[in-house]
Structure 1
Amino acid sequence: MVDETSDFFGRGKNNINPKKGKVLIAEPFLEGRYFKRSLVLLAECNEDGAIGFVLNKPINLTIDEVLINIAHFEGDVFVGGPVDINRIYFIHTIPNLIPNSIHIFDNLYWAGDFMVLKELIEQKVVRPEQVRFFAGYSGWSIGQLSEEINENSWLVSQLDVSEIMNCNNEKLWEQSLRRMGGRYKMWSNFPENPGMN
């Protein structure tokens, strides 16, 4: 019997396929400004590639501090990824109010008519737990995400909609790994800068 926690640096995929609605958890060895210790919600994932949004990298600005001509709305804007960072994207749980919303899973959607959303914010109809904003997105071309998963850059996991909509917790990366147990729990304690140990 093998104790999988005994091999701290052992690589082993968790055998969950990436698909729309799943969450990618960066392995502790993954570096980079956008993806180091990140969780990425996959808003789309098919044979043509994948689109996602980093969930746990707030920029500590509200949407009205980022865009002009929009009413004040509580809740941080997050860095969604390295692609198209000068554009705002959003996910939400109010498809009945926002036309042209794209279904992700359960009651979670992305995109839709932004002008309608602006009006809803102006009218104070929506709450921060119903809408999350991102500057930019994360994108993978055909086969790229599968290749990165095979290289052990990502673990594939799942969060429920309420966790996704409320996860402004910078400890979410560690919490998600601990929840997976085994060696992943140990990875959550891996120092951000190993050279400092």
Structure 2
Amino acid sequence: MSVEPPAAGELLVSTSGRGADFFDQSVVLLLDCDQDGALGVTLNKLSTTSLDSVLPQWTQLVAPPRVLFAGGPVSPQGAVCVAKLSNPSEEPPGWRPVMRDVGLLHLDTPVELATGGYTDLRIFAGYSGWAPGQLDDELARGSWFRMDSRDEDIFTAQPAGLWRRVLRRHGGAPALLSTWPADPELN
């Protein structure tokens, strides 16, 4: 476990592979983390709401699969957009960097301005949030592995297998957890 405090751009990978909690088998990208708390979006949970029904103008700009993701249980009626710049030397209107050339795109930005400015977009309903000290407590209890993020984690076309892939890539005890059966009763 890292001695450095959690930071934007890191992945939080759930150590729980069982149960029905939202965060079981979750991979969360931290977008902000400071003394006021932390927030992120869950990269591998799909929303039950279709993207076409709430933000149809954005559907063709998002990375496959062209769906709305469930970013977390906080403010599920709100939307968060994570985007990767096509030209890292420019900062288009409505964009705020998080790490490298990946950041947040304000969804009030006209779609015409966003077209061509990003190589990948992902839209999340809601977000995952932690009050001051809460994430540190969860990390101390062993609820999360902290890992470096890759663009292919954030914009994967196969979100269903992301939890297992990230754990396997890390090696060690996390890689063993990736072999957890989908249904332990069948083991």
Q: TM-score range by the shorter chain?
A: 0.7 to 0.9
Deviation at 1:175, TM superposition (A): 0.9
Distance 1:30 1:132 in 2: 27
Partner of 1:149: 139
2:185 is paired with a residue whose SS is helix
- 2:176 matches 1:186: yes
2:111 matches 1:118: yes
- SS at the partner of 1:35? coil
Q: 1:31 to 1:49 in 2, by over 3 A?
A: farther
> For 1:72 and 1:39, how far apart are their aligned partners in 2?
23
Q: Which residue of 2 aligns with 1:8?
A: none
Change (3 A) 1:190 1:30: closer
Q: How far did 1:66 drift? A: 2.5
For residues 49 and 91 of structure 2, the distance between their equivalents in structure 1, rounded to whole angstroms, comes to: 25
Return the index of the structure with the highest Cα Rg. Answer: 1
Q: How far, CA to CA, are the matches of 1:32 and 1:115 in structure 2?
A: 34
SS at match of 1:173: helix
**What amino acid does structure 2 have at the position aligned with 1:188?**
S
1:107 aligned onto 2:101: yes
Change (3 A) 1:82 1:160: same
Q: Which runs of 5 or more structure 1 residues have no equivalent in the other structure?
A: 1-12
Aligned residue in 1 for 2:77: 86
TM-score (normalised: structure 2):
0.82
1:60 touches 1:76 (CA, 8 Å); kept in 2? no
Of 7, 23, 26, the residue aligned with 1:35 is 23
Q: Which sections of structure 2, spanning at least 5 residues, go unmatched? A: none
Contact 1:25 1:37 in 2 (8 A): yes
The 5 Å alignment of 1:2-81 reads: 13=1, 17-29=5-17, 31-59=19-47, 63-67=51-55, 70=57, 72-73=59-60, 75-81=66-72
RMSD: 2.5
Moved more, 41-50 or 31-40: 31-40
TM-score in terms of structure 1 length = 0.79
The answer on whether the counterparts of 2:43 and 2:153 sit within 8 Å (CA) in structure 1 is: no
Alpha-carbon displacement from aligned partner over 1:59-95 (angstroms, at most 9, x marks no partner): 3765323236x26425221000000001111011238
**2: CA distance between counterparts of 1:90 and 1:98?**
14
| Alignment partner of 1:158 is 2:148 | yes
Asked if structure 2 preserves the Cα contact closer than 8 Å seen for 1:29 and 1:153, the reply is no
| C-alpha distance 29-115 of structure 1, shift in aligned 2 (>3 A) | closer
Partner of 2:41: helix, strand, or coil? strand
Q: Percent identity?
A: 30
| Number of matched pairs | 180
Distance 1:176 1:163 in 2: 8
